Structure 1
Amino acid sequence: MCTCYPAHDSRTDLEPRRIFRFYMNSFRAVASTFLSRYIYNIRQVLATRMMQISHANTSWESKAAAKRSSTNAKIPQEWQLSNAELEKAAKQKDLTGSFIEQYLTPDEGFIVAQDANKLAENIRSGEWTAKTVAQAFCKSAAIAHQIDNCLHEIFFDQAISRAEELDAYYKVNGKTIGPLHGVPVSLKDQFHVKGNDTSMGYIGWIGTYQGSTDKKLVHNVDSQIVSELLSLGVVLFCKTSLPQGILITETINNLIGRTMNPYNQNLSAGGSSGGEGALQALRGSPVGLGTDIGGSVRIPAAFNGLFALKPSYGRLSYRDVGNVIPGQTTYRSSIGILGRSIESLYLVLTSVLSTEPWLRDPYVVPLPWRQQLVDTILEEPSVDGAVNPGRPLKLGIFWTDNVVTPHPPITRGLKIVVDAVKRAGHKVVPWDPPEHSTAKRIHASFLKADGRHDIHKQLDLSGEPLIPQTVEKFALTDPISVTEYHNLTLQGIAYETAYSDYWNSTGVDDGQLVDAVIMPAAPHAGVLPGKFFHATYTAAINVLDYSAVVIPVTKANASIDKADPNYMPLNETDEKNWNAYDADIFDGAPVGVQIVARKFEEEKIWAIGKLIYQALLAERNQ
């Protein structure tokens, strides 16, 4: 039966309930169609993204594997270790000294045992050729990498060719081309060297220039300081490992994995210049360059029994050096030097400054080396670090920042230094500056101000994931506002001013300001992987932009560095750090301390570091 409506009827004449049903049914139909299409599109997007992720994962893993294979292939066959030898090394706690020397001839072992100064002297006198020295260090570095995973880049052929050119110049001219003629120098993998990758721990940087495929740049750039080193006669031969994203204090990445401490393979080599520290500890290099934005030169030096110097930013050139969050310029990373002697730091720093780097980099302060500041410190003390009655140094001692208490080996190391300088006739006074916890907060805020977008941008180039140690720390967030950034800047200025005022107050009683401060480089001697909870001992110095050196003092000793069973932790972080200490596990780990002076006092702090180390040697020889 058909239902018909009169001609004048319309839908507006329908009952309200029927009208409501009509529109609801229409809405449901449209909504159902839209929702189905939306869900379909979402599924397609997710499926595509999953395919992209899957492809990216395959891509980054294959790129990393290919890079590792390429690097290892650059090690000459006669230097490659057998599987049995690698297994033996993996079970060895201490890889240094006699263990690695077994793979070297007596002549090679003697050469790699020398510091940069002795190498330069013997090449200059004609006793050794640059090629002989380069071959010895290339071999030692090759062994070091195989047993401790510390290199990203190997260019031994390039190094030998360079050494041959230097030898030819010496033969013709009867002199060297500069103070570093023939000295092998290793580089943290942030520095660009023509003909080689700079990955900085990012898979997406392999085969590129910091992620760019511009052919004018890829493998065609030397960092400014690299050019300066080459002009001085250096032989470059390898680049060392660092952590993904740089901003962590142990060395691990998706390219080569983890770099351990050669003195104690229970522990990390530190970071972020950890590969540099490990290589030098294994006598694979006499001296090298790292970078330091929160302790990245000083921590690996302390962990690996080395000397280091962190200048204020602008003393050495950062031009054309790869970096993380490069737009963060309030608290900048500094180029630093790690070496196997205090004298090697002097040789490299004075040599580079002699090239007047400020003429090529507008961010370098036009400040030549001021030898008179060194002489003022060193002319009074005797060879054993003792002083004449005239003017002893006044040194502050910073036992703890009252946030994380140093482990027993570090406290003992500080005491050894204090006792040595006191016996040498110097003054030691307590150091109680503005709270370092304030510096910690400010420093951390600047390093994450961009919401970690720079790090994720580099990871997205290959699709590689964050390493497990940084998944939480480097989680992507919104950047802070300009207003917040400016406010943080003002807080930083206030902190720097308060610290300076405190330093000036140290001369009120006796008319003599504190010359430098002795303090921990870290609250532990080495660190268990994943257990570095507090980097403020070094990071606070970056906020202040002060000059600092690190000197080795002793080694952790299980028989005397016992933990106090009655110790009451100050806070949760202190408790985690204290619980991570085990005297037996840390036994044998190097103990170093940092010594800090004020901004642009590199000459002064180097001289004080030398003087204090002389005092330590005098104590040992008694």
Structure 2
Amino acid sequence: MKIPLQQTWQKKAEAKVAETKSKIPDEWTLQKHDLEAAKRQRQLSGPFIERFLNDGELEITGNDSVPLLSKIKSGQYTALQVTTAFCKRAAIAHQINNCLHEIMFDQAIERAKELDGYFGEHKSILGPLHGLPISLKDQFHVKGVDTTMGYIGWIDTYEGHTDPSKTSLPQTLLLGETVNNLIGRTLNPVNQLLSCGGSSGGAVVLSLIHSQVSNGRIPGEGALNALRGSTLGVGTDIGGSVRIPAAFCGIYSVKPTHNRFSYRGAANTNPGQNTYASSVGFLSNSIDALQLVMKSVLSTQPWLRDPEVVPIPWRQTLVDSTLSRASADGSSNYNTPLKLGIYWTNGVVGPHPPINRGLRAVVDTLRKAGHKMVDWNPPSQSTAKRLAFLKADGAHDIHAQLNLSGEPLIPELVKSFQLKDPMDLLQYQDLTLEGRDYSAAYSDYWNATADDKACQYQYPPALYELLLTRFELQDQIVDAVIMPVAPHAAVIPGKYYHTAYTEAINLMDYSAAVIPVTKADKNVDTFNSDYKPLNEIDRKNWEAYDPDVYDGAPIGVQLVARKYEEEKVWAIAKIVSAALETAGVV
């Protein structure tokens, strides 16, 4: 008897989930009572997941990327020790948080043994990422392993074709949460009442442990990194997909300009659309790991293998010159302090109380550290929101992939991606020109910030007059902008109503980084019943705020620089993070 099509995709998904589960060794498999306990936990990170690890595993997985590499290089840890510890932690993370599409523990352990053999013979490492655990968004192709990108029809195929070919992601990639018909929903490991974000949210895999960077890219985010099942994640960002999960899970990320790093060999949604381009980006538990991976990848000259990549090597001089403007504790040297714009709200949807408090904490800290803060009032993000090109094909690419198995759109996407006629070419061209003009207007506004007379948010008057006289700061342009990643700290599943805070940055293709600031506090971030919503979406967003539900949720901000300023935005993120740590905010 032929199985109905609807059951066929369901059975295929069930088989894939079972196959992934079977790759977890018996000794790492949790008992039923442990899984039930995980469901009752609000926070899975920290003490809860750590109860399943021994002292040696806790010590190893407690290291961030840079110190971990240093200890491997010195011989304190072997690659096998590191790999085994992180594989075990990733296995536990998946069982309690549902965050992996693919598991490659066997391959990783075998590769670690090879690296240890090389190290034993040569007393040196093979490459800059020798032995480092890396997780990949299920969008990056790895030979012999499925890339599903959240589509059931891609299982056992190459992008839906018959030839076979990581962390979890949402069906289609185009959602600020992580949910699909394959493994369901991935929740926030810091607060399971909330989402982990998306699309690089949790559909992650613990990658092969790389001895060196190859092909100018690392093949393969938020949830797995927050549970420390990986020290470094590779994702993509077309509307906030590395920034959102980083902010929601309390970790760091960087979104480069789209063609700074290679997309060759990675799958994508609606790949023929490149007006509004997707960027390869990175997530980590530490700020230093982001420089490490960007510098390592660019050292391979990826533009020689991918003609879409611009030939810009890592510019350490730009890093050094930016870092020289502050001390190690983040305080200004008063020679050329940072000048940062503050984007409190886009005027379309106002941020919840925790986000407002996080922004104020950053501003107050940086002012006290001697940096200059100015209000930021650029062209409206409502224009950028309207100019998104993600639906230009009428969702034909998405439905073509769904039809491979007969699976339906997940409920969260039904309204947005109904099948329609493609956008008319002339309309597409008009919107492209409008996007160009918006970017030009934004650039003009940015250039005008060199005139301090227009700035409203200054130093304390006496200090400002002193600096103005002594260092002629009136000619200093804004270095970067601090703004919300979203109008909320994480989000209650199904209530992500407004994504323009990140989408507008993609339209202009600016470089951006995300840093953690603090956590929501129900006793401080109280609901304001007198708030007057700006519009219907703002009303829905405001009514979704519940201080008790959001309590403990991470609060992050994004730092935005201009195109191809990855080195600069990373260095500014380093300075701001240091200032927050010195002030005891983080």
TM-score, with structure 1 as normaliser: 0.87
Are the aligned partners of 2:517 and 2:585 in contact in 1 as well (CA < 8 Å)? no
Q: CA deviation at 1:113?
A: 1.2
Q: Report the counterpart of residue 384 of structure 1 in structure 2.
A: 329
Q: CA deviation at 1:382?
A: 1.1
Which secondary structure state, in structure 1, belongs to the residue aligned with residue 440 of structure 2?
helix
Q: Report the counterpart of residue 522 of structure 1 in structure 2.
A: 486
1:313 paired to 2:254: no
1:450 paired to 2:358: no
1:487 paired to 2:430: yes
Alignment of 1:337-486 (within 5 A): 337-443=282-388, 446-486=389-429
1:145 paired to 2:90: no
Alignment of 1:327-342 (within 5 A): 327-342=272-287
Q: Report the counterpart of residue 136 of structure 1 in structure 2.
A: 85
Q: CA deviation at 1:198?
A: 0.4
Q: Report the counterpart of residue 213 of structure 2 in structure 1.
A: none
Q: Gaps (5+ residues) in structure 1?
A: 1-50, 220-238
Q: Report the counterpart of residue 206 of structure 2 in structure 1.
A: none
Identify which of 519, 524, 529 aligns with 1:560.
Answer: 524
Deviations 1:116-153 (A, max 9, x none): 11111000000000010000000000000000100000
| Range moving further from structure 2, 501-510 or 317-326 | 501-510
Deviations 1:89-128 (A, max 9, x none): 0000000101000000011011111111111100000000
4+ aligned runs moved over 6 Å, structure 1: none
Distance 2:286 2:149 in 1: 27
Q: Report the counterpart of residue 125 of structure 1 in structure 2.
A: 74
Distance 1:514 1:55 in 2: 60
1:260 paired to 2:209: no
Distance 2:585 2:25 in 1: 42
| Range moving further from structure 2, 142-151 or 500-509 | 500-509
Distance 1:155 1:182 in 2: 15
1:66–1:621 distance in 2 versus 1, CA, 3 Å: closer
1:190 paired to 2:145: no
Deviations 1:344-369 (A, max 9, x none): 00000000000000000000000001
Q: CA deviation at 1:84?
A: 0.9
Q: CA deviation at 1:160?
A: 0.1
Are the aligned partners of 2:49 and 2:92 in contact in 1 as well (CA < 8 Å)? yes
Q: Report the counterpart of residue 250 of structure 1 in structure 2.
A: 177
Which secondary structure state, in structure 2, belongs to the residue aligned with residue 524 of structure 1?
coil
Distance 2:310 2:516 in 1: 30
Deviations 1:359-391 (A, max 9, x none): 000000000011111111112311111111211
Distance 1:469 1:257 in 2: 12
Identify which of 496, 500, 504 aligns with 1:536.
Answer: 500
Distance 1:389 1:298 in 2: 31
Q: Report the counterpart of residue 207 of structure 1 in structure 2.
A: 156
Identify which of 493, 496, 503 aligns with 2:439.
Answer: 496
Distance 1:414 1:380 in 2: 22
Q: CA deviation at 1:420?
A: 1.0
Which secondary structure state, in structure 2, belongs to the residue aligned with residue 153 of structure 1?
coil
Distance 1:565 1:463 in 2: 46
Q: Report the counterpart of residue 26 of structure 2 in structure 1.
A: 77
The residue type paired with residue 171 of structure 1 is G
Percent identity of equivalent pairs:
61
Q: Report the counterpart of residue 269 of structure 1 in structure 2.
A: 196
1:285 paired to 2:212: no
Q: Report the counterpart of residue 209 of structure 2 in structure 1.
A: none
Distance 2:500 2:428 in 1: 21
Q: Report the counterpart of residue 212 of structure 2 in structure 1.
A: none
Are the aligned partners of 2:518 and 2:585 in contact in 1 as well (CA < 8 Å)? no
1:103 paired to 2:56: no
Which secondary structure state, in structure 1, belongs to the residue aligned with residue 193 of structure 2?
strand
Q: CA deviation at 1:596?
A: 0.2
The residue type paired with residue 489 of structure 1 is T
Distance 1:110 1:451 in 2: 50
Q: Report the counterpart of residue 47 of structure 1 in structure 2.
A: none
Which secondary structure state, in structure 2, belongs to the residue aligned with residue 440 of structure 1?
helix
Which secondary structure state, in structure 2, belongs to the residue aligned with residue 260 of structure 1?
coil
Distance 1:555 1:113 in 2: 21
Q: Report the counterpart of residue 600 of structure 1 in structure 2.
A: 564
1:114 paired to 2:59: no
Identify which of 249, 256, 277 aligns with 1:304.
Answer: 249
Q: Gaps (5+ residues) in structure 2?
A: 203-220, 453-473
Distance 1:199 1:603 in 2: 32
Q: CA deviation at 1:550?
A: 0.2
Q: CA deviation at 1:331?
A: 1.1
Deviations 1:556-581 (A, max 9, x none): 00110002110000000000000000
Distance 2:333 2:191 in 1: 40
Distance 1:145 1:246 in 2: 20
Identify which of 142, 163, 181 aligns with 2:130.
Answer: 181
Deviations 1:217-261 (A, max 9, x none): x22xxxxxxxxxxxxxxxxxxx20000011010000000000000
Which secondary structure state, in structure 2, belongs to the residue aligned with residue 575 of structure 1?
helix
Are the aligned partners of 2:361 and 2:585 in contact in 1 as well (CA < 8 Å)? no
Distance 2:123 2:28 in 1: 33
Distance 2:104 2:128 in 1: 23
Q: Report the counterpart of residue 88 of structure 1 in structure 2.
A: 37
Distance 2:143 2:4 in 1: 31
The residue type paired with residue 454 of structure 1 is D
RMSD: 1.1
Distance 1:277 1:518 in 2: 21
1:608–1:75 distance in 2 versus 1, CA, 3 Å: same
Q: Report the counterpart of residue 60 of structure 1 in structure 2.
A: 9
Q: CA deviation at 1:57?
A: 1.0
Distance 1:367 1:608 in 2: 20
TM-score, with structure 2 as normaliser: 0.92
Distance 2:557 2:131 in 1: 31
Distance 2:71 2:16 in 1: 36
Are the aligned partners of 2:152 and 2:181 in contact in 1 as well (CA < 8 Å)? yes
Deviations 1:378-408 (A, max 9, x none): 1231111111121111000000000000000
The number of equivalent residue pairs is 547
Which secondary structure state, in structure 2, belongs to the residue aligned with residue 266 of structure 1?
coil
Distance 1:621 1:613 in 2: 9
Distance 1:245 1:396 in 2: 34
Deviations 1:579-610 (A, max 9, x none): 00000010000000000000000000000000
